[in-house]
């Protein structure tokens, strides 16, 4: 009887120990929509709602740094050439980057090679030409991105989101691209 009691106690201790040492459940996935991309306050030189950016990066407060062209004759969205979103007070890499290469100096072949190397997926037909991909853990930092370009490859819009927030960063990058494409990749109006 004593052996059975000791064995039962040992088994119970192992079960309790295993239960206590198991990994905590993963955080719930944030599936909130990004909301209105033009809601105040705006960031990235007035292009994107700061609230939407906070949802994407999963942090408060954020700090944005924008670079651009001084030519005010360019349409809104064509003056901004890059926007980096960081967590305020943290000196690490940006959690979200938006970039516009205008003019794009690459070739269609380079884009196809990059897509194949990154195992990218074509953007939905209404958003193409372009593709999205996720660079997996093991590379620092791991991130998801979208590359989309004009039909003649004159301009390239890129969006990169570092993995970390409890969201689908590739889906968020596609949604940001959906909003920014008509602003940043439309044909330039004659001056």
For 165-181, how does the pLDDT look when each residue is reduced to its tens digit (9 = 90+)?
Answer: 788 999 999 999 999 99
Distance separating alpha carbons of residues 162 and 136, to the nearest angstrom: 10
Rounded to 10 degrees, what is the CA torsion of 185, 126, 151, 96?
40
What would the pLDDT profile of 47-76 be if each residue is shown by its tens digit? Answer: 888 899 888 888 777 777 777 665 565 556
User: Would you say residue 4 lies in a domain?
Assistant: no
Distance CA 117, CA 171 (A): 20
Residue 19 in domain: no
pLDDT at 163 over 70: yes
- Region at 105 (left for phi over 0; alpha for psi -120 to 50; beta for the rest): alpha
Could you tell me if residue 14 is inside a domain? Answer: no
Given a cut of 90, whether residue 116 has pLDDT beyond it is yes
For residue 125, being part of any structural domain is answered with yes
Residue 137 resides in a domain: yes
Q: What is the pLDDT of residue 76?
A: 61
Position 3 in a domain: no
**Residue 113: inside a domain:** yes
What total number of domains does the chain contain?
A: 1
Full-model pTM: 0.77
Side-chain-facing half-sphere of 5: CA atoms under 13 Å? 2
Query: Which strands sit side by side in the sheet containing 96-101, from one edge to the other?
Result: 62-68, 80-87, 96-101, 156-162, 143-149, 130-135, 121-122
Q: What is the largest CA-CA distance in the chain?
A: 95
The whole-angstrom separation of Cα 175 and Cα 146 is: 10
Is 6 domain-assigned?
no
> What span, in angstroms and rounded, lies between the C-alpha atoms of 67 and 25?
40
Domain containing 137 equals 32-184
pLDDT of res. 35: 81
């Amino acid at each position: 009887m004593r052996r059975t009691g000791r064995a039962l106690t040992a088994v119970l201790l192992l079960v309790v120990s295993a239960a206590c040492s198991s990994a905590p459940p993963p955080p719930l996935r944030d599936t909130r929509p990004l909301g209105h991309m033009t809601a105040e306050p705006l960031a990235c030189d007035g292009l994107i709602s700061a609230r939407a950016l906070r949802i994407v990066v999963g942090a408060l407060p954020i700090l944005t740094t924008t670079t651009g062209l001084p030519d005010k004759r360019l349409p809104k969205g064509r003056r901004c050439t890059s926007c980096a979103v960081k967590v305020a007070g943290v000196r690490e890499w940006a959690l979200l980057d938006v970039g516009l290469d205008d003019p794009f100096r690459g070739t269609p072949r380079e884009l196809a090679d990059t897509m194949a190397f990154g195992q990218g997926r074509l953007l939905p037909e209404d958003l193409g030409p372009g593709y999205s991909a996720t660079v997996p853990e093991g590379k620092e930092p791991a991130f998801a991105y979208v590359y989309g370009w004009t039909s003649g490859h004159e301009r390239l819009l890129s969006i990169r989101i570092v993995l970390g927030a409890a969201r689908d960063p590739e889906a968020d990058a596609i949604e940001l691209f959906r909003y920014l494409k008509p602003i940043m990749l439309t044909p330039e109006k004659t001056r």
